[in-house]
Structure 1
Amino acid sequence: MPAVTLAFDPDDTPACAHAALAAHNPAAGQVTVHPTPGTDHPADLAHDVLAALGKPYTPSGRWNTQPALTWAAAAAWARTAGLNHLILLRGHLLTPARWRYLLAFQQHTGSHLTVVCHRTPTPALTRALASVDHTITHGLPAYACPGPGHHQSQPAHIPTATSLPWLTLPALTYLALTDRPEPPCDCTPPPATADRLPMEPPPGRTEEAAARLHRLAHPTHAAALAAALITGVPFSQLAAVHPTDYHSARATLTLHAPARHRTPARCAVYRVPGWARPLLDAATRYHQHRKPPGSRLLTDTQPTLTPLLQAAEHCRLRPPQDPSGRSRGRFPRPHFPEALPDGPHWTACIPLPNLPPELQSAALQ
């Protein structure tokens, strides 16, 4: 089968569109993308692909408008999900730039690409396909249609982020305590033991927290918040995680202790639960594709706390709050662009007597 199929439907028949939409089946590795009308920016099409893959949550930020990064995220999620076939409607409306990113996505993921066009291919499309193994069909090809006995199931409803209620998770208590990344560590920590099992959210909230993180479009932020829920450590330790600290086959994540108290015995290996493994796998693929050598796994190229808090607030995830509604003054709420008006006080309810020794100095700054 050629890498790309151009399905020509000059009469714009409803049957062709209905068949393409009915073939959407992410669980079987096949998704159908209907580009958002009135958009022509390459990053917008990447977000359409991400939404089709079940990743519609995109907090405000510069990352959302950078095509190279958004398409890299789409490719990372597609490879993690085992995507083998992408069907795109309204292909005749794509700009040359969108075509370039779409074909690069196909080559990077190795998935088959079927593009439905309703008008004669444009010169830009003809040039783009000149060096690509492709075929042209009249109407949707059989391998892009629902199989025999297929019953179209309604896609799972994904609530908008703004409609979500706040979910309070004790594991996020220390996340925003300090934003200074720890220096690298090359020790060999002891193996995972019973006292280093994953920290689980309160009963009944694990599934909801995981579902929200799985809807985030940015692989790095989704993986970092998952690691925060598993370990309960501050951002400074998450920002020090090297790609080799995550072992996908063994499902383990190594976190190193702060430098001033660092010994191999204090550096811990955590077991990664099943719900978090796809997030860390996608972050690893995204890192391999877009980040320079030597960069960290769970942060952007510039390791700052703000984007991670934006992602958490977008998913309506927060640490425990002061019941009185007042900050205790010692830890002011971080302010950053696009912060939610009703956002949490990230360090308002930290129990100072129980603060780990390595964080005492940070708490007093």
Structure 2
Amino acid sequence: MLDSNLSHWLEAEADALDRGLREADDVLPQLASAGVLGLGVDEQYGGAGGDTCAAVEAIAAVAGHSLTAAFVLWGQRTFIEYLLHTDNATLRERLLGDLLSGEVAGATGLSNAMKYLSGIEELGVRAAPTAAGWQLDGRLPWVTNLRKRGFVVAAAVELSGAAPFIAAIPDDLPGLTRSEDLQLLGLQSSNTAALQLDALQLQHDWLLAGDARQYLPRVRPGFLGLQCGMTIGLTRRCLQEVERHLAGSRSVLEAEWRELCAQLEQCAAELKHGLCAGRFQSEPASMFHLRIALAELAGQAVQLELQASGGKAYLQQYGAGFARRLRESAFVPIVTPSLVQLRGELQRQAAGADA
């Protein structure tokens, strides 16, 4: 599915990207040149056509080589999804072309908002009205695809006495400060950092949505569905590595391998069917269950890869790919919304239904 040049580059650079030894800003141009940023974007907007499921599969294909690159792609494509759902056509026209070409990096910034939607935490950015728009203050502690120059970030903003709103914030506004890259266990070349907003003046024309509570449920299926593509791709790659070792004494693992392959493709099919049918807007719990199931499959698949590879996987000389996938799999349960947060939300929903 992927352009061969992109596949070869990702395979060659995967470890360097994970460990931060390759410049993070190199990732987005590679993705753009391979044409993956426009998948699932209508041709009238300059995209490649298709639906969101095509973007999910593209992220999965990239994740099979490098979860770092897939994380960047998820951030970019999710911000594009926000623009596809905004009522601000002028803002969409202003930003979408540069996002599709990779000239501008799109940072989702709505992890905090997704937790807010589920009642897990308060919004981290506050607004006070001004004549031309708002003054923003606050902090976004963990945002991916924050290129050093040339990014735009989406943020949910608390407004006293009114509904919270969603804004797009360009990187060149005074009062916006990007931290140094966060020191992550892996995925280091993903331009992941924190943002501080101090008396930032934002004009009305950067509004993505006037009511966050109405907008967030519309974009949450894309946010989570595209995120699931990362897990699907990583799990598929682990299972492909298992298959390579099934001969001889390792054949005892074949039944478990077949079962995991079947479960993975069933979950992937359910995810894509739900996205295409629009079911997850009205039934978010079904998507939460899928996200949890996929994360558990990733953990099982990487452990099965270790068993299939044997002691060789523990030798640095031979096991670099496995070691990276082990680190990548550790990210899957904690990326927002984390499995703990999802299980807590499902528990609250079940308690409410029983009340």
Question: Which structure has more helix as a fraction of its residues?
Answer: 2
Rg larger in structure: 1
TM-score by length of 2: 0.27
Structure with the larger RCO, 1 or 2 (CA within 8 Å, 6+ apart): 1
TM-score by length of 1: 0.27
